[in-house]
Amino acid sequence: MRPEAKSTPAEPTYVARLTDVGHSYGKTQAIAGISLDLPSGRMIGLIGPDGVGKSSLLSLISGARQVQTGEVEVLGGDMRSAHHRDRTCPAIAYMPQGLGKNLYPTLSVFENADFFARLFGQGREEREYRIATLLKRTGLSGFEDRPAGKLSGGMKQKLGLCCALIHDPDLLILDEPTTGVDPLSRRQFWSLVDDIRRERPAMSVIVATAYMEEAARFDWLAVMDAGKVLATGTPREILVHTGAATLDDAFIALMPQERRATHKAIALHPPADFDAADFAIEAEGLTMRFGDFTAVDDVSFRIRRGEIFGFLGSNGCGKSTTMKMLTGLLPASGGTAKLFGKTVDPKDMEVRRRVGYMSQAFSLYTELTVRQNLDLHARLFQLPADTISARIAEMGRRFELMDVMEALPEGLPLGVRQRLSLAVALIHSPEVLILDEPTSGVDPIARDQLWAALIELSRKDRVTIFISTHFMNEAERCDRISLMHAGKVLVSDTPDAIRKTRYATTLEEAFIAYLEDAIGETAASSAPASSTADDGGKFTATRRHRAFDLRRIWSYSLRETLEIRRDPIRATLALIGSVILMFVIGYGINMDVKDLTFAVLDRDDTVASRDYVASIAGSRYFIEQPPLADYADLDRRMRDGTLKLAIEIPAGFAEHVARGHDVEIGAWIDGAMPQRAETTRGYVQGMHAHWLSQKAREIYGDAANGQFSIETRFRYNPGIESLVAMVPAVIPLLLLLIPAMLAALSVVREKELGSIVNFYVTPVTRLEFLLGKQLPYLALGMMNAVLLWLFAVLVFQVPFTGSLAAFATAALLYVAFATAFGLLVSTFMSSQIAAIFGTTLMTIIPAVQFAGMIDPVSSLQGIGAVIGRIYPTTYFNIISRGTFSKGLGFDSLIEAFLPLILAAPLLIAASAFFLKKQAR
Amino acid sequence: MRLANIFHLGIKELRGLLRDPILLGLIVYSFTIAVYTEAKAVPETLNNAPIAIVDEDSSPLSRRIADSFLKPYFKPPAMITAGEMDARMDAGTETFALDIPPNFQSDLIAGKSPVIQLNVDATRMTQAFSGSGYVQNIVSTEVAGFAAADIDDRIPSVDLALRARFNPQLNQMWFASVMNVINNVTMLAIILTGTALIREREHGTVEHLLVMPLTPFEIMAAKVWSMGLVVFVATLLSLIFVVQALLKVPIEGSIVLFMAGAALHLLAATAMGIALATLAGSMPQFGLLLMLVLLPLQILSGATTPRESMPEAIQTIMLAAPNTHFILLAQAILYRGAGFSVVWPQFLWLTSISAGLFAFSLLGFRRSLR
């Protein structure tokens, strides 16, 4: 079905044509068979609330997502063809939804822009020129060194735009670029886009937005709901078609009949007659400092009982902090906050009982049903137990939740969930209701329903409502509003009064005027924007497509390195994690048994018996304790673990031995720890035999028949020390585990945080991406290898007898394998936690069990033997032991090198094969 | 502080856990299959050890010796020449190489005391030490059997009656099964509380809790009791049904006393989970931290190898870890049947460590809420 209202026929070319496009995530259908032609060279808006399929549609057009059904034709080619995508992606720029979603928060403004410029293969001079120009135009000059994560919402989006425009795209795709951004930044953002379009009129822009006010300025619109396009055309055409005055109303008019049925236009409620002295909330010089950063600066206002008070401002301007101080969540650094005339004391739980709070994102327990959520909150607010079920029923009726009482919130539409949040916030009948952006992402109908409820609460129940919002039409409905910017309240008055003071026709204009006053020079800096735009064709967009570009590899490597350096936990793990673990394993997995405590119950007490005891006490394995008094003493001391060995020498021992009679010595060992007991048994038996042969020699000399001896040579480790044996085998384990995990995380992290989209939509190839990710971890792995080697030789004092060159070469090949292994794992994993546990399982078990660390591979059988033979750790183990303990070099280890040389390239090839260049 | 709040919030945690199949699976797996298989999988001291024999004698006796190395302790011996021996040992093909010298049999009969050389690759600790004892035993037995020499009965026979207490057969499984249960107690207590807190923060529900009349202490105590209870019950069931019933490991002492110790340890471990979660901030970072914390706790606490063979400094440092005391206590009670009169110092240690950790975590948790 093609929607009725078509674009003007004067436009012959299309930037994108969609035919019967459908898209589902599992069972959820996001797009239901859309056919749509998007004219080129225009500013096109996709409008509709959250979750109607706008983002899916944009990601399909950008090539970031794989086409499931239907045809997507962009810039004259089929986006299902990998060849066409390779060719066109340098001409497309895509800025995904979410503040700074494709930016790297720990990287600075300049580093972010530089990363993108390198991805598009720009040389140093070109990069610096372009970045400087773009940052200047967006007003970000002077912030080059600030981490992207510390920028305000508006600045993040401008930086996102810089990064998108770095390669002069023909098609710019912006997914809700201004959500959560203050009105001034929003206006600046759009004037920037307008400027750039003026310079490059051929450029098409596709924008998704939930702000209908914004959409009114676009050239051409497609109105979407529930995975379908409801109408297309210019804003005027749509208004005419629906007979509505505003796009908001037009949207409601376009909705299906059954959804519209519940909608009532919000009645303009009469201005409340407030009792002038009855203040619910009073803030006086409220200030909040975090370190040297002032989040809220001298904020004062008074809110009367029953008033609806609106709070406007960009993300991070101090709204939430102010709200937290009012609820007593945060103790103010300065000033006072009063609720009903009483100073707010964070320790005073009574205040919290009078306040209801609804936070920005849906933040109820998704693992509890609607009823359980209401019940939990009722109990936590200590409602009398017998009134709880009645109260839940009342709230359920009031907010139309009765049908979904036993459902889990996750499956409910956003609008219903917001009603539930409101019901939860009101369960204890608070006198003050604090709502932090309750309507973001909610469709206009559900929004109006929520507002109807709020107005009723305020007017009927005299609940004081303190609400923050981004929507201007919602701000209009408040009794009074405050505009906040950078921790300060700029103005506080009724919407009408604010408009009149600034002689503005709309509230938005008035706000922008206030913001401009507050910021001062911003207006000046955005003005000369167009004049600096002249790059005079100095650097024309070079659409060269190289199959392999070192610059793109380097771009990813550099970015990865910067990120690791700024993440303390990962950096610790990367640098000294392996040393910590080597320390733990080296000392912990210790086969040595020594310092065993023993005591003797000597009933003979003669020279002979003392001689027997002395043969044990003289050993380095045993420590003698005070003698045992009797069996009870023996039992007690073995039970509390202070004795590992008890020996009983019977009365008359010396006499029996002298006469050649049989005699029996009793010995008990502590069997609680079998491995230790086994070794202890060996020691005792050995010493006993030694004592016997000594006695025999004393008596008969050494000419006994049938005598022979076994000379045991413990080679490579004559002291049979655990450390010497363990350390060379632990190095291969650690050089596998940590580099593999970090490499896997580096890719999966991007998948989870969303910045993987940069890989999808830029010209970087799969091999370049993988190698770029691998390089820093290869370097880190080698640093680890050096550290481990030094630690082994210097701290554990394990002698290194073989060829260092052979060890180093093998370590390099092995770390290359380990990182490649991590990358291969990452192609199958989508969450970081799965990557951590998955890599651990897939490395530790084979490396410990099958690679010859404990049992030699030659003594393995079945599947273990097969894994042992192909797992490269086996071969590095041979080389590590060979070079550490056996004094070997290249020539004797050549067979172990061959598998190591093959491993990394094979795994990288496999990873490149399995890695997807598009999302599903 | 209100007990009712702690109770209701704890119930909420339990409900949340019930709806998380992955964590539930992990709990069930750790306390059943993992305990069972790991206990069964403990390698015997010597298994399939590779051995080579250089037979320079080629006499009936030397062949008799070569034939006496049998499975499952040894792989069938590889018969090699003296020249091959070094290369094979360098490559790690064999752990043992037995060199029987020329004229061994005739020298023995002639009473010349010939010498057999046993080469052991001592970089293979697990096989080297106990294995060489086996080899010596086998060779001696065979030689003695061959010589059938008239044993001189004037040599005094002093017998050594060697008995192992608490585990007469030195059954490795007895030890491994219980230590596995104990390691799982620590691991799950940390993971469950840590993820419960991080999930709450990632969903923004912590903020939500704080606007209610609740204190951080109540929020934390609720997580500690609920997750601790889950692990407590799982431990008890695992001990009774898997360790005692299925693996037939006898338990000497009082399970009640052991579980009292487990409860104290759980308090410490859950508090540690909270502390790690406040440090980590996100689930992946929590996972990485877990690796760096859990491994030392488990390996250096005495659950894997005896404490007394570790360097003095490590033994002292590990006194600060709850695991060390829990394991001392568990070994004393479960294997040696010790009563409270013996293990009270461990209880004292555990109590103070738990209290310290709880206070530290609470402080960190409070700070993280700012």
For B165, how many CA atoms within 13 A lie in the half-sphere containing its CB? 23
* Cis bond before residue A799 (omega within 30° of 0): no
A257 touches chain B (CB under 8 A): no
B248 touches chain A (CB under 8 A): no
| Record: contact B158-A692, CB cut-off 8 A | yes
Arithmetic mean of pLDDT, A887-900? 91
Confidence of residue A566 (pLDDT cuts 50, 70, 90): confident
Closest-CA distance, B181 to chain A, in angstroms, reads 15
Kind of pairing between the strands at A279-290 and A293-304: antiparallel
Task: Point out which residues pair with B54 in neighbouring strands.
Answer: B80, B99
User: Of A519, A539, A559, which residue is a domain's last?
Assistant: A519
pLDDT mean across residues, chain B: 85
**Inside any domain, residue A490:** yes
**Inside any domain, residue A369:** no
Using the predicted structure, report yes or no on whether residue A863 has a pLDDT greater than 90. no
pTM: 0.82
Nearest-by-CA chain B residue for A653: B158
Top-confidence residue, A545 or B226: B226
Instruction: Count CB-CB contacts under 10 A for residue A847.
Output: 27
Arithmetic mean of pLDDT, A636-654? 88
A572 touches chain B (CB under 8 A): yes
Per the CB < 8 A criterion, the answer to whether A455 and A423 are in contact is: no
Closest-CA distance, B237 to chain A, in angstroms, reads 22
Per CB-CB distance under 8 Å, the chain A contacts of B174 are 674
* The pLDDT value given to residue B203: 78
Determine the Cα–Cα distance for residues A95 and A247; give it in Å rounded to an integer.
25
Closest-CA distance, A707 to chain B, in angstroms, reads 5
Q: Which residue has the tokens 């009670």?
A: B333
Confidence of residue A184 (pLDDT cuts 50, 70, 90): confident
B70 touches chain A (CB under 8 A): no
Using the predicted structure, report yes or no on whether residue B230 has a pLDDT greater than 50. yes
Per the CB < 8 A criterion, the answer to whether A122 and A116 are in contact is: no
* The pLDDT value given to residue A276: 63
Top-confidence residue, A809 or A844: A809
Arithmetic mean of pLDDT, A419-447? 83
Arithmetic mean of pLDDT, A300-313? 86
Residue of B129, B284, B370 lying closest to A720 (CB–CB): B129
Tally A–B CB contacts below 8 A.
Answer: 363
Of A645, A588, A602, the C-alpha closest to A622 is A645
- Both A205 and A307 in one domain: the answer is no
pLDDT mean across residues, chain A: 84
| Record: contact B9-A584, CB cut-off 8 A | no
Could you list the residue range(s) of the whole structural domain that residue A243 is in?
Answer: 14-260
User: Of A679, A696, A713, which residue is a domain's last?
Assistant: A696
**Inside any domain, residue A421:** no
Determine the Cα–Cα distance for residues A762 and A120; give it in Å rounded to an integer.
7
Nearest-by-CA chain A residue for B76: A859
- Both A671 and A759 in one domain: the answer is no
Q: How many domains does chain A have?
A: 4
Per CB-CB distance under 8 Å, the chain A contacts of B122 are 714-718, 720, 724-725
Residue of B139, B149, B162 lying closest to A706 (CB–CB): B149
- Both A156 and A43 in one domain: the answer is yes
Per the CB < 8 A criterion, the answer to whether B86 and B57 are in contact is: no
Confidence of residue A914 (pLDDT cuts 50, 70, 90): very high
Confidence of residue A790 (pLDDT cuts 50, 70, 90): very high
Closest-CA distance, B332 to chain A, in angstroms, reads 6
Percent with pLDDT over 90 in chain B: 30
Cα radius of gyration rounded to whole Å, chain A: 37
Arithmetic mean of pLDDT, B354-359? 94
Determine the Cα–Cα distance for residues B268 and B320; give it in Å rounded to an integer.
11
Ranking B105-109, B114-118, B258-262, B269-273 by mean pLDDT, the lowest is B105-109
Determine the Cα–Cα distance for residues B174 and B249; give it in Å rounded to an integer.
6
- Both A643 and A792 in one domain: the answer is no
Arithmetic mean of pLDDT, B268-283? 90
Residue of A589, A700, A856 lying closest to B92 (CB–CB): A856
**Inside any domain, residue A714:** no
For B19, how many CA atoms within 13 A lie in the half-sphere containing its CB? 14
**Region for residue A292 given its phi and psi (left: phi exceeds 0; alpha: psi -120 to 50; beta: otherwise):** alpha
Determine the Cα–Cα distance for residues B272 and B267; give it in Å rounded to an integer.
9
Using the predicted structure, report yes or no on whether residue A614 has a pLDDT greater than 60. yes
**Inside any domain, residue A35:** yes
* The pLDDT value given to residue B232: 96
Q: Which residue has the tokens 């002298």?
A: A658
Task: Point out which residues pair with A670 in neighbouring strands.
Answer: B165
Closest-CA distance, B310 to chain A, in angstroms, reads 6
- Both A777 and A896 in one domain: the answer is yes
Confidence of residue B360 (pLDDT cuts 50, 70, 90): very high
A339 touches chain B (CB under 8 A): no
Task: Point out which residues pair with B118 in neighbouring strands.
Answer: A712, B98
Arithmetic mean of pLDDT, A850-873? 82
B30 touches chain A (CB under 8 A): no
Arithmetic mean of pLDDT, B223-236? 95
- Both A688 and A565 in one domain: the answer is no
Top-confidence residue, A531 or A651: A651
Per CB-CB distance under 8 Å, the chain A contacts of B332 are 639-641
A422 touches chain B (CB under 8 A): no
**Inside any domain, residue A830:** yes
* The pLDDT value given to residue A558: 92
Using the predicted structure, report yes or no on whether residue B44 has a pLDDT greater than 70. no
Per CB-CB distance under 8 Å, the chain B contacts of A724 are 122-123
Per CB-CB distance under 8 Å, the chain A contacts of B209 are 380
**Per-residue pLDDT tens over the stretch A735-783:** 999 899 999 999 998 888 888 888 998 888 899 999 999 999 999 999 9
User: Which 152-191 residues of chain B touch chain A by CB within 8 A?
Assistant: 152, 154-168, 170-172, 174-175
In CATH, the architecture of B51-147 is 3-Layer(aba) Sandwich (3.40)
Confidence of residue A701 (pLDDT cuts 50, 70, 90): low
Confidence of residue A3 (pLDDT cuts 50, 70, 90): very low
Arithmetic mean of pLDDT, A374-395? 90
- Both A727 and A668 in one domain: the answer is no
Q: What is the CATH number of the domain that holds A471?
A: 3.40.50.300
> Any residues with CB less than 8 A from the CB of B257 and at least 6 apart, and which?
B333, B339, B340, B343
Confidence of residue A608 (pLDDT cuts 50, 70, 90): confident
B352 touches chain A (CB under 8 A): no
**Per-residue pLDDT tens over the stretch A86-104:** 888 888 999 988 878 889 9
* The pLDDT value given to residue A267: 65
Task: Point out which residues pair with B158 in neighbouring strands.
Answer: A663
Top-confidence residue, A591 or A343: A343
Ranking A463-477, A538-552, A741-755 by mean pLDDT, the lowest is A538-552
Residues of each domain in chain B carrying CATH 3.40.1710.10: 51-147
Nearest-by-CA chain A residue for B302: A588
User: Which 711-730 residues of chain A touch chain B by CB within 8 A?
Assistant: 711-718, 720, 722, 724-726, 728-729
Instruction: Count CB-CB contacts under 10 A for residue A830.
Output: 12
Q: What does the CA dihedral A495, A501, A503, A506 come to, rounded to 10 degrees?
A: -20
* The pLDDT value given to residue A61: 92
* The pLDDT value given to residue B42: 61
Determine the Cα–Cα distance for residues B296 and A727; give it in Å rounded to an integer.
16
Instruction: Count CB-CB contacts under 10 A for residue A366.
Output: 19
Helix (H, G, I), strand (E, B) or coil at B93: coil
* The pLDDT value given to residue A531: 38
Percent with pLDDT over 70 in chain B: 95
Arithmetic mean of pLDDT, A447-460? 85
Confidence of residue A716 (pLDDT cuts 50, 70, 90): confident
Using the predicted structure, report yes or no on whether residue A364 has a pLDDT greater than 60. yes
* The pLDDT value given to residue B268: 94
**Inside any domain, residue A101:** yes
**Inside any domain, residue A1:** no
B251 touches chain A (CB under 8 A): no
Top-confidence residue, A838 or B261: B261
Q: What is the CATH number of the domain that holds A667?
A: 3.40.1710.10
Instruction: Count CB-CB contacts under 10 A for residue A268.
Output: 9
Confidence of residue A805 (pLDDT cuts 50, 70, 90): very high
Determine the Cα–Cα distance for residues B82 and A27; give it in Å rounded to an integer.
70
Sheet holding A488-493: strands in order across?
Answer: A355-358, A432-436, A464-468, A308-312, A480-485, A488-493
Structure tokens belonging to residue A560: 């990865």
Determine the Cα–Cα distance for residues A141 and A525; give it in Å rounded to an integer.
10
Arithmetic mean of pLDDT, B248-264? 91
Closest-CA distance, A38 to chain B, in angstroms, reads 38
Using the predicted structure, report yes or no on whether residue A270 has a pLDDT greater than 70. no
Q: What letter represents residue A804's amino acid?
A: L
Using the predicted structure, report yes or no on whether residue B261 has a pLDDT greater than 90. yes
* The pLDDT value given to residue B150: 43
- Both A578 and A672 in one domain: the answer is no
Q: How far is CA A370 from CA A365, A405, A863, B179, B199, in A?
A: 9, 5, 50, 42, 19
| Record: contact B291-A663, CB cut-off 8 A | no
- Both A174 and A226 in one domain: the answer is yes
- Both A254 and A286 in one domain: the answer is no
* The pLDDT value given to residue A736: 93
Ranking A188-192, A289-293, A373-377, A806-810 by mean pLDDT, the lowest is A289-293
Ranking A589-593, B49-53, B178-182, B242-246 by mean pLDDT, the lowest is A589-593
Per the CB < 8 A criterion, the answer to whether A369 and A406 are in contact is: yes
Arithmetic mean of pLDDT, A180-208? 86
* The pLDDT value given to residue A4: 43
Using the predicted structure, report yes or no on whether residue A536 has a pLDDT greater than 60. no
**Region for residue A328 given its phi and psi (left: phi exceeds 0; alpha: psi -120 to 50; beta: otherwise):** left
Arithmetic mean of pLDDT, B252-262? 92
- Both A573 and A602 in one domain: the answer is no
Confidence of residue A272 (pLDDT cuts 50, 70, 90): low
Nearest-by-CA chain A residue for B210: A329
- Both A316 and A170 in one domain: the answer is no
User: Which 365-404 residues of chain A touch chain B by CB within 8 A?
Assistant: 365-368, 372, 376-377, 379-382
| Record: contact A588-B48, CB cut-off 8 A | no
Nearest-by-CA chain A residue for B16: A367
Residue of A357, A434, A745 lying closest to B284 (CB–CB): A745
> Any residues with CB less than 8 A from the CB of A15 and at least 6 apart, and which?
A38, A39, A40, A41, A44, A74, A75, A171, A204, A206
A146 touches chain B (CB under 8 A): no
Q: Which residue has the tokens 């409601």?
A: A252
Of A442, A518, A483, A519, the C-alpha closest to A314 is A483
CA angle A496, A502, A507 (to 5 degrees): 50
Top-confidence residue, A278 or A730: A730
Confidence of residue A533 (pLDDT cuts 50, 70, 90): very low
How many whole angstroms from its chain centre is CA B238? 16
